[in-house]
């Protein structure tokens, strides 16, 4: 939706972060923002960078992983690398072909993507959720702008894609009022908490948090599901995320927690900074997790271990993508089930463990996704009503 062509200098975006815009400049910025959705996305990333003073800029780069991604895309040449590929297992070849294909398909405009005839259109999830205020009142999120005021003066600005909390320092009591956000199947939503911490909440998740932070410790609780936290730095007040298995304690950093009820493990993945895992049954000493490490806690055996991962893969959902790296179809379809609100059945159980790699768009209809997987792997999908069967 392009209206008039309004352009803007980066200077204004910087000045906005410092609240230095004149009335006219503010209007200019607004005009630019409303002329295209993509503008807004860029603006938010820039604001986030300037406001956090680039703290999150130091995200680790996984060069080895990047090289693998590049090497898979190369076609020219007949050297050792290619030879190694030909002797590798057939499944590896399939993955290579897939990555190339997916890259090609994703780069084409949506209209050109071939859609199989047999599938009906199942649309991706959208940005919405339900908010439960401290007095028990329920509010639908994602339906336009609105401002709410909590009993202690905290205002909640509801926009179509996020809710922003602002505490009233005069009225805020030491006794924090709690809100709960419920994000259903086929939904996701973003919150900005009263301390400036940004939280992306994935489908089928529930998070409880205070409307303002007046205590010595900032504490929120993820009851189930998945959330990614970009915690606003505050040396004085640690930020604690309580999960059903343990606590995650931070000062200011970006990390992802996944604790779905139907997943066997709770996974905490760190992008930047340091986090401390504490308060876990049977483990008295806190455990320090570094960037690109993942803490995996088994809910059944209560065992835990730390593994090296490419953290950006686990954050991809907050940026509108699925990234799969040798993931099993079973785990992939668990994610698709939540986002597309579909049911999935494996007719052939062996297919559960078939692996797949690729980057897929999160905001396309499901047939686009299924087509991509089908083209390069040895599986067949059938889509009827809201059920995908896998042969």
Candidate ranges 44-52, 86-94, 144-152, 172-180; the one touching another protein (CB under 8 A): 44-52
Q: Does residue 57 belong to the site contacting another protein (CB under 8 A)?
A: yes
Decide: residue 325, CB within 10 A, 0-12 exposed, 13-18 middle, 19+ buried.
Answer: middle
Distance in angstroms (rounded) separating the CA atoms of residues 31 and 19: 17
Strand-pair category, 187-192 with 343-346: unpaired
Instruction: Pick out residues in 2-31 that bind another protein (CB under 8 A).
Output: 5-11, 13-14, 17-18
Instruction: Pick out residues in 79-108 that bind another protein (CB under 8 A).
Output: 79-81
Q: Pick from 22, 77, 87, 301 the residue near another protein by CB under 8 A.
A: 77
Least distance CB 138 / another protein (angstroms): 35
Q: Pick from 3, 19, 23, 76 the residue near another protein by CB under 8 A.
A: 76
Distance in angstroms (rounded) separating the CA atoms of residues 230 and 51: 12
CA distances from 117 to 121, 207, 367, 371 (A): 10, 40, 9, 11
Q: Does residue 114 belong to the site contacting another protein (CB under 8 A)?
A: no
Quick one: which of 317, 359, 329, 355 has its CA closest to 69? 359
Quick one: which of 227, 291, 254, 239 has its CA closest to 55? 254
Q: Pick from 63, 109, 137, 350 the residue near another protein by CB under 8 A.
A: 63
Candidate ranges 55-63, 280-288, 343-351, 375-383; the one touching another protein (CB under 8 A): 55-63
Strand-pair category, 387-390 with 343-346: parallel
Q: Pick from 50, 91, 224, 279 the residue near another protein by CB under 8 A.
A: 50
Residues that bind another protein (rule: CB under 8 A) add up to a total of 47
- Of 16 and 246, CB closest to another protein: 16
CA distances from 294 to 67, 95, 290 (A): 22, 24, 8
CA distances from 258 to 61, 186, 339, 368 (A): 22, 17, 15, 26
Residue window 303-332: x/- pattern of binding to another protein, with contact defined by CB under 8 A? ---------x---x--x-x-----------
Q: Pick from 21, 25, 28, 48 the residue near another protein by CB under 8 A.
A: 48
Residues that bind another protein (CB under 8 A): 5-11, 13-14, 17-18, 32, 35-36, 38-39, 42, 45-46, 48-51, 53-54, 57, 59, 61, 63, 66-67, 69-71, 73-81, 312, 316, 319, 321
């Amino acid at each position: 939706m392009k209206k008039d062509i309004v352009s803007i200098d980066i200077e204004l975006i910087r000045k906005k972060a410092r609240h230095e815009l004149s009335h006219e400049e503010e209007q200019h910025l607004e005009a630019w923002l409303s002329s295209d959705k993509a503008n807004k996305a860029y603006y938010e990333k820039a604001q986030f960078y300037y406001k956090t003073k680039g703290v999150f800029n130091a995200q680790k780069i996984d060069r080895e992983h990047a090289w693998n991604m590049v090497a898979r895309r190369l076609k020219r040449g007949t050297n050792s690398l290619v030879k190694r590929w030909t002797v590798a297992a057939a499944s590896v070849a399939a993955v290579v072909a897939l990555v190339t294909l997916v890259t090609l398909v994703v780069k084409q405009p949506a209209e050109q993507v071939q859609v199989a005839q047999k599938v009906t259109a199942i649309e991706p999830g959208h940005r919405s959720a339900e908010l439960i205020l401290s007095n028990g009142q329920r509010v639908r999120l994602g339906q336009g702008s609105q401002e709410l005021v909590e009993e202690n003066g905290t205002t909640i600005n509801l926009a179509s894609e996020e809710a922003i909390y602002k505490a009233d320092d005069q009225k805020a009591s030491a006794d924090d009022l709690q809100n709960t956000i419920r994000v259903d199947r086929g939904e996701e939503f973003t919150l900005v908490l009263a301390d400036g911490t940004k939280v992306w909440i994935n489908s089928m998740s529930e998070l409880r948090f205070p409307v303002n932070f007046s205590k010595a410790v900032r504490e929120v609780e993820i009851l189930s599901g998945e959330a990614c936290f970009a915690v606003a730095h505050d040396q004085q007040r640690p930020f604690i995320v309580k999960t059903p298995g343990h606590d995650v304690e931070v000062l200011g950093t970006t990390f992802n927690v996944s604790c779905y009820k139907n997943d066997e493990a709770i996974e905490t993945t760190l992008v930047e900074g340091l986090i401390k895992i504490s308060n876990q049954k049977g483990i008295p000493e806190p455990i320090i997790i570094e960037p690109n490490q993942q803490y995996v806690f088994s809910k059944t055996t209560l065992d835990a271990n730390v593994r090296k991962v490419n953290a950006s893969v686990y954050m991809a959902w907050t940026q509108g993508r699925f990234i799969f790296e040798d993931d099993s179809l079973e785990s992939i379809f668990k994610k698709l089930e939540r986002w597309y609100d579909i049911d999935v059945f494996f007719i052939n159980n062996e297919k559960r463990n078939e692996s797949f790699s690729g980057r897929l768009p999160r905001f396309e209809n499901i047939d686009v996704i299924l087509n991509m997987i089908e083209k390069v792997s040895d599986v067949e999908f059938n889509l009827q009503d809201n059920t995908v069967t896998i042969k």
